[in-house]
Structure 1
Amino acid sequence: MQDDKVGLQYLRARWYDPSMGRFVGEDSFTGQVDNPLSLNRFTYVKSNPLINIDPSGHYPVCDGCSDKEQEKEKKDYVKSRNPSSVSEKLVKFVANYKQYFSRSYRGQDNKNRTIGYGHAILKGEDFGEKTEEEARELLLRDLQSRIETVSNWANKYNVQLNQQQFDALVSFVFNAGPKVLIDKDADVGKIIKSGDYTSEKLKEAFLDVVKVSTTEGKINSAGLFRRRMDEWQIFSFGEYNRDFPTTPKGYK
């Protein structure tokens, strides 16, 4: 409902001023200490646009629409707003993590031979040597399949993602495989789909995906611990830097 006299809109039992993108009155929800965006009690859906889908489950109503039409409008909106590709910052982040190797090598998991910026050589592929330019092209091609994985998952479950969140999830599935996001029991996917979580809870879910199979058996990887921390920081804060945090005891 909108009051044309004062230019305000009535949403969720409060008046909203679209000219400044803020509510006039405070939200009764006090927010979460470890989620700074939730502490501003005058914002709407974490400062996203007015017609965004609220993480609490609220979403814009299509007047006169059937339930089926309403659901389609919601899905179409989410699909149109989600990123369609990763940022250049994410490409550089992944390349920095993987580093450039002109010739093939074996990673910590000792399973696949890898070349360029982390390209796992598939059966039938035969690479002699790759220039940095060729390695980057191969990386972009590899990332594309993970971009599609995250896009399809987000659209399927009406998950709204900004660029940094999309980037973090693409890096996550690029490194750990699509199942860590799309499987019904995958914690990171379940938590994000719920829309009701703390930053700390999401970090714990990321840090559950740190095991790697080696000749010694499954171990907790120090490298994967650092990567999961960095991916969580990208998702939560838009920080693409590598911080090299101290790993817990028992990680290799």
Structure 2
Amino acid sequence: YMKSWERPPLVNGQINGRVFRDTKGGLTIGYGHYIPEHEKWKWRDYDPEQGGTREMTLLDMENLFKRDVDLLAEVEIRKRFKVRLLQQEYDALVDFTFHRGGGALRESGLEGYINTISDGRYDYDKIKDQFMKYAFWFNQTTQQWEFVEGFSKRRKEEINMFQFGIYTLHR
């Protein structure tokens, strides 16, 4: 599921193993691996903007994605949630955390609310509202929160996964 959202752009029908700019202009490689400014030098051989010509293999992209999901999302979920989660709930929270970060998990209210419901009988309107807080992106240039249709679609799919166990592939 997550890879369908994080897939790199296609070049001549093939997955591109080079650095690219995501929809918000951030440097990215492989399946959603965000490259912060202080790591840009590590990826220069793969970055056409820096004259790089190398491409990651599919296997390397897959391994980087698995590592990122574990380090950036699964560790956060295992650490933060004290209640038993269904697989679909866990998966939805992993996707949300991978996409928006551990801070969003806490700030959305999801972490606090879910940890208070030990029997899994959630108020799904509350869950939905907490996911949908992150259908927005803070634009550093304008210093404004902006609605992003793609983020909204992803949040809705995470909600369906969490509540109903529906896994929808993107694209």
TM-score, normalised with respect to structure 2: 0.77
Deviation of 1:186 (Å): 3.3
Q: Identity rate of aligned residues, in percent?
A: 27
Q: Which amino acid aligns with 2:6?
A: K
Matched position secondary structure for 1:114? strand
- Gaps (5+ residues) in structure 2? 9-15, 47-54
Could you say which residue in structure 2 is the equivalent of 1:200? 125
Runs of 4+ in 1 over 6 A off after TM superposition: none
Could you say which residue in structure 2 is the equivalent of 1:147? 74
Could you say which residue in structure 1 is the equivalent of 2:29? 115
2-structure distance, mates of 1:204, 1:242: 22
> Would you say the 8 A contact 2:108–2:134 is kept in 1?
no
2-structure distance, mates of 1:125, 1:142: 16
> Would you say the 8 A contact 2:89–2:163 is kept in 1?
yes
Q: Alignment RMSD, CA only?
A: 2.0
- Gaps (5+ residues) in structure 1? 1-92, 245-252
Deviation of 1:161 (Å): 0.7
Matched position secondary structure for 2:18? strand
> Structure 1 residues 221 and 114, CA, compared in 2 at 3 Å: closer, same or farther?
same
Could you say which residue in structure 2 is the equivalent of 1:230? 157
Number of residues paired by the alignment? Answer: 146
* Selected match of 1:170 from 68, 76, 94: 94
Could you say which residue in structure 2 is the equivalent of 1:219? 146
Deviation of 1:243 (Å): 7.4
The structure showing larger relative contact order (alpha-carbon pairs under 8 Å, at least 6 residues apart) is 2
Deviation of 1:131 (Å): 2.1
1:103-122: CA deviations, max 9, x gaps? 11112222x30011110124
2-structure distance, mates of 1:243, 1:143: 18
2-structure distance, mates of 1:227, 1:103: 24
Structure having the larger proportion of residues in helix: 2
Deviation of 1:135 (Å): 1.0
1-structure distance, mates of 2:169, 2:160: 10
2-structure distance, mates of 1:98, 1:152: 24
Structure 1 residues 1-252: aligned runs within 5 Å: 93-100=1-8, 101-110=16-25, 112-122=26-36, 123=39, 124-126=41-43, 127-128=45-46, 129-145=55-71, 146-154=73-81, 158-181=82-105, 183=106, 185-195=107-117, 197-214=122-139, 215=141, 217-242=144-169
TM-score, normalised with respect to structure 1: 0.53
Pick the structure with greater CA Rg.
1
1:167-192: CA deviations, max 9, x gaps? 111111100010122x3x53111221
Q: Which amino acid aligns with 2:3?
A: A
1:67-123: CA deviations, max 9, x gaps? xxxxxxxxxxxxxxxxxxxxxxxxxx111011134211112222x300111101241
2-structure distance, mates of 1:105, 1:151: 31
2-structure distance, mates of 1:241, 1:104: 27
2-structure distance, mates of 1:243, 1:223: 10
1:27-84: CA deviations, max 9, x gaps? xxxxxxxxxxxxxxxxxxxxxxxxxxxxxxxxxxxxxxxxxxxxxxxxxxxxxxxxxx
